Amino acid sequence: MKALKFDGALKLVENEPVHKREGEALVQIICAGICNTDLEIVKGYAGFHGILGHEFVGRVVESDDAALAGRRVVGEINVGCNECSLCLKGDSRHCSRRTVLGIKDRDGAFAEFISLPIRNLVQVPESLDDDTAVFTEPLAAACQILEQVDINSSSSVAVIGDGKLAQMIIRVVAQTGCSPTVIGKHEHKLELARINGVRCFQVTKPADDVSSLIDDLEGQGLVDKPDIVIEASGSPTGLPLALGLVRPKGIIVLKSTHHAETALALAQVVVNEVAIVGSRCGRLSSAIDLLANGKIDISPLISARFRLEEGLMAFKKAAQSDSMKVLLQIGQ
Amino acid sequence: MKALKFDGALKLVENEPVHKREGEALVQIICAGICNTDLEIVKGYAGFHGILGHEFVGRVVESDDAALAGRRVVGEINVGCNECSLCLKGDSRHCSRRTVLGIKDRDGAFAEFISLPIRNLVQVPESLDDDTAVFTEPLAAACQILEQVDINSSSSVAVIGDGKLAQMIIRVVAQTGCSPTVIGKHEHKLELARINGVRCFQVTKPADDVSSLIDDLEGQGLVDKPDIVIEASGSPTGLPLALGLVRPKGIIVLKSTHHAETALALAQVVVNEVAIVGSRCGRLSSAIDLLANGKIDISPLISARFRLEEGLMAFKKAAQSDSMKVLLQIGQ
């Protein structure tokens, strides 16, 4: 089968066929999305070699569970050992022996087929088209924030970033009834963020000079210090900015997973008693509910669509600073 | 009056007399303690010039509140503007216009007298001797952790550090009924930490090689990943170690206020969904209650006592790695 594989370089390969493993289902991929994590992996920082891809919608073609055969599904990307105390408590996302689809020790979804445990699959309602369903996984990552931090209509929330994940987060946070403030670099991406009264501020100063950057944002009218700052810029300079913005005793939610080290003046975390909360994957069911209710329109966030055979071109497009989500159309 | 002043260098000076300001009380200092923050200030990183000292017990010699005259007191060190929304909510510790005794824009307690707002003063019960009362402020900083994080008898807690603040924290955490694990560098300081079944592990590897350090600690028997790691080492290498030790979805409480920048691989905060909680000053009343109930014996933590005139020698002693609390005996 055809697949996009990274082995130090990204290549379109003709791979051996995937076989269904015990307890798993064979899924034919319909459509997959390129995420910033994929872009980080092809930079070589994350140490993964194999078929990339973890955002997908597909159709079950072979399964021990007959009810699943032929169903459209999305998948939880973390595959736990199913034996340790975390897995037994239902938290295989943090199992120390987990594999992760297209990220850690498990071939991913930029391929014609994958095999994934039946327990990882979630059926997609008929009402959701493929393009929308492929956003389930990244939207779930945004929904995870609401599982970790209390955000309601009276919360004062700022989101740093205007990229793919930030756009998901803005839409999820807006569902709580509060109007987040967005701080981003790109005017055309900020334009996409202007939903439901969201206020946008454009960063025009170098991000490594935090105090002059904050002066500039204050000059644009960003005066009140937010209760909660969600850092989803994908850049090492995002957290220092978040620390400068958040109110004393406020919360910073950290979503970016770049692999560069960040130099931090930790004294301000202590002196201002700030809490920094790391946040990764979320439950797919929350995201499917939001999408199925039609509460979130993701269609403006699709920048381009390529066939799997055009995968290298798709990655080039996804890496451009003006791109939002780039999809790979693989099957039907 | 005599005072220990820092103006780029630490000096014993004959300063002009302190006068009671409006709404404040004039307090004659009996005894004061040297804290790591004082040692950081004399390194010049913190930008404070003035009389040092914020841990003290004293006697009120002049006050608009007649009931206070002659009383022994300790003092909340943050003096808010008393006008902003934070101050009006009772949280002057985070007022952006606050002064801080001996730390920020307000002369401190390594002097014969200080003036401090009446609302900052807390009376000391007769049952508490001066040596014990002077520990109120640092013990309150340890108590603050319990205000921020739920720690109970079934919590699995590790404390990184074996210095003055870490020793306070170990004693406060042990009050909840759990037996913290302590990771420190100095055998004789770890000896002081061995109370109520506390397990101690000695760091013998370079602290900047976190993975071999953790291998070594595991070899010593530190196998289970703690729910909560309290970083009170005073070193920039403490947080990377805490990140390596804490369980997924665990909490790191950050107490160290060194001014060096720390290079952090933030991806592991995100991937493991760890929360990092900054923690600074606490309520004096909690600490006084603990001390007055005789639940915490601080006497083993006093390393030396000097007269104010011997202040430079006292700072030298306090800076030695084998020192615990160094007291300055100033009045009676």
Interface test with A, best of B86, B214, B269, B283 (most A CBs within 10 A): B269
Helix (H) or strand (E) holding B183: strand B181-184
Closest Cα of chain B to A248: distance in Å? 6
Among chain B residues, CA nearest to A237: B266
User: A133: Cβ–Cβ under 8 A, 6 or more apart, which residues?
Assistant: A31, A57, A72, A74, A124, A288, A291
Measure the CA–CA gap between B175 and B179, rounded to whole angstroms.
Answer: 9
Alpha helices in chain A (DSSP H): 36-42, 85-88, 130-133, 136-148, 164-174, 187-193, 210-219, 238-245, 267-271, 284-292, 311-319
* Low-confidence stretches of chain A (pLDDT beneath 50): none
Closest Cα of chain A to B66: distance in Å? 34
Q: pLDDT confidence of B265, banded at 50, 70, 90?
A: confident
Q: What is the per-residue pLDDT for A210?
A: 87
Among chain B residues, CA nearest to A257: B267
Among chain A residues, CA nearest to B248: A94
Measure the CA–CA gap between A332 and B170, rounded to whole angstroms.
Answer: 61
Closest Cα of chain B to A146: distance in Å? 13
CB nearest B278 (choices: A148, A236, A269): A269
Average pLDDT over residues B251-279: 91
User: What pTM, to 2 d.p., does this model score?
Assistant: 0.94
pLDDT in tens, A227-265: 999 999 988 889 999 999 999 999 999 998 877 788 888
* DSSP code per residue over A228-250: EEEE-SSSTTHHHHHHHHSPTT-
Residue B217 is encoded by which pair of tokens?
A: 């600690």
Q: What is the per-residue pLDDT for A109?
A: 98
Residue A185 · residue A202 · CB < 8 Å: yes
Which chain A residues are Cβ-neighbours of B264 within 8 angstroms? 261-264
Query: With 0-12 CB in 10 A as exposed, 13-18 as middle and 19+ as buried, what is B204?
Result: exposed
Q: Provide ipTM, 2 decimals.
A: 0.93
CB nearest B256 (choices: A148, A270, A273): A270
Q: What is the per-residue pLDDT for A71?
A: 97
Closest Cα of chain B to A37: distance in Å? 11
Chain A and chain B share a number of CB contacts under 8 A equal to 105
Query: With 0-12 CB in 10 A as exposed, 13-18 as middle and 19+ as buried, what is B38?
Result: buried
Pairing, β A325-329 against β A24-34: antiparallel
A69 — contact with chain B (CB < 8 Å)?
A: no
Please state, for a pLDDT cut of 70, what percent of chain B lies above it. 100
In B20-112, which ranges are E strands? 24-34, 50-51, 55-63, 72-75, 78-79, 99-100
B224 — contact with chain A (CB < 8 Å)?
A: no
Q: How far is CA A121 from CA A12, A27, A71, A78, A254, in A?
A: 26, 10, 10, 11, 27
Among chain A residues, CA nearest to B231: A270
Q: pLDDT confidence of B38, banded at 50, 70, 90?
A: very high
Q: What is the per-residue pLDDT for A259?
A: 74
Which chain B residues are Cβ-neighbours of A239 within 8 angstroms? 266
A97 — contact with chain B (CB < 8 Å)?
A: no
Helix (H) or strand (E) holding A2: strand A2-6
A224 — contact with chain B (CB < 8 Å)?
A: no
A236 — contact with chain B (CB < 8 Å)?
A: yes
Which chain A residues are Cβ-neighbours of B271 within 8 angstroms? 257, 278, 280
Helix (H) or strand (E) holding B137: helix B136-148
Residue B125 is encoded by which pair of tokens?
A: 């019960």
